[in-house]
Copies of this chain bind each other. A is one copy, B any other.
Amino acid sequence: MYIKAYLKEKRELIDSYLKSYFEVPSSPLILHEAIKYSLFAGGKRIRPILAIASYEACGGDSKEILPQASALELIHTYSLIHDDLPAMDNDDLRRGKPTNHKVFGEAMAILAGDALLTEAFFMMTNTVFNGKKLKLSPVLRVIRETSLAVGACGMVGGQAQDILSENLEPDIDTLEFIHLHKTAALITVSVRMGSILALAPKEKLQALTRYGENIGLTFQIIDDILDIEGNTKKLGKTTGSDNRKKKMTYPSLFGIEKSRKRAQNLISDAMDALRIFSREADPLREIASYLIKRRA
């Protein structure tokens, strides 16, 4: 149960930072409400936690990089809001609640996403936090890598390919492209962020990158399996929707059993990548095990 306590502790740290950050309302109020609605809809804060766990594995104290780590959750939330739009995946339910555009209308949902993405970069430029002054060079590098990972060459490209591939015959190359860009890119850069901000040596950064890529892909495969196997209530979103939309997924191409096997292999490789670390990487190891076992 150690990992659950760890995840809870870090999630509360991040939530508390985000709550205080968005405490002062901006104008117009409805935009502020739309932003908060999705940001505080019960997200697990996995990406910020990965950045923090990686920072700690490289000798840092989690409280020092809360702005940079939490910015990853803003980016993740923006991507969910835009992906759910009628013109995109047209989803009505997210984390058990009506999607942003269902509550605030399409215009506000688009703008809330735009605002979250923009605010993420503002948040990342905060270099003095909790008494720690981060060096400027790694902060700039983190902004550079994050923007690359979530733009046309990363997450946005993956989402575009995902949309374009609906109703097409599934093929492994396209599927891997979608997974690597749409999901794994942001997860990988989350793990790299912690390591870069901790000024870790190259070999640690490389090991953590390999770890990140592996769990990033796993994350998407498990997501696709849960879309078939999970139940709507537990997952908080409509299950079976990938199939209805004729999305290209791992299980649709290889079946559930082979997909689970593939996820297990990826996790083994992620664990192997961490072997140059001692106990300080235990949270990262446990997160990897946790990801493959998750049911929601």
Contact = CB atoms under 8 A, between A and B. Distances in A.
Given A125-B144, A136-B140, A115 B32 contact: no
A255 interface: no
A108 B147 contact: no
A5 interface: no
A32 B151 CA distance: 11
Copies of this chain: 2
B164 A140 contact: no
A246 to B, nearest CB: 15
A111 interface: yes
A153 B122 CA distance: 11
Contacts of A35: 152
A3 interface: no
Contact of A115 (B108, B113, B152): B152
B27 A114 contact: no
A55 interface: no
Given A121-B121, A136-B137, 20 more contacts: A26-B157, A27-B161, A27-B177, A30-B160, A31-B152, A82-B110, A111-B156, A111-B159, A111-B163, A115-B152, A115-B157, A118-B147, A118-B151, A118-B156, A119-B147, A119-B151, A122-B147, A122-B151, A125-B140, A125-B144
